[in-house]
């Protein structure tokens, strides 16, 4: 069952107006795609965990928003949109 964190609600409420719909959409998409994901709070940003492993995180700044996958190198990426080099196992940022 999905786990929602009230700190994420508060974070989204304080986000810049342009970032709110982006981050709210990402949050909903993550929960829809992975119903067992758990929200948490790390490094002052919303993060999403699955079975104790970090999946992704998101953040809002004054003029941009960011989204990052963890362990992107093990994700199926047939169109090579994650831009992960072979042997890399870190975080990949989007948006």
The answer to whether position 42 is within a domain reads yes
Return phi, psi of residue 30, to 5°.
Answer: -60, -45
Q: How far is CA 91 from CA 5, 29, 30, 82, 85, in A?
A: 22, 19, 17, 10, 12
pLDDT of residue 1: 64
The answer to whether position 60 is within a domain reads yes
How many domains would you assign to the chain? 1
Residue with tokens 């709210």: 24
Quick check: pTM over 0.95?
no
pLDDT of residue 81: 74
Token pair in block for residue 80? 């090579």
The rounded distance, in Å, linking the Cα atoms of 40 and 62 is 22
Question: pLDDT per position in the chain (95 positions), as tens?
Answer: 678 999 999 999 999 999 999 999 999 999 999 999 999 999 999 999 998 889 899 999 999 999 988 877 777 778 877 765 555 554 545 54
CATH code, domain with 18: 3.90.1150.200
The answer to whether position 1 is within a domain reads no
Q: Tell me the residue range of the domain where 63 lies.
A: 6-81+88-93
- What is the end-to-end Cα distance of the chain in Å, rounded? 28
């Amino acid at each position: 069952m999905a786990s929602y964190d009230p700190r994420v609600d508060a974070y989204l409420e304080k986000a810049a107006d342009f970032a709110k719909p982006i981050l709210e959409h990402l949050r909903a998409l993550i929960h829809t795609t992975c119903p067992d994901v758990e929200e948490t709070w790390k490094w002052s940003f919303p993060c999403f965990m699955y079975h104790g492993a970090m999946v992704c995180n998101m953040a809002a700044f004054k003029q941009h928003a960011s989204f990052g996958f963890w362990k992107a190198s093990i994700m199926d990426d047939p169109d090579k949109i994650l831009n992960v080099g072979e042997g890399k196992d870190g975080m990949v940022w989007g948006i």
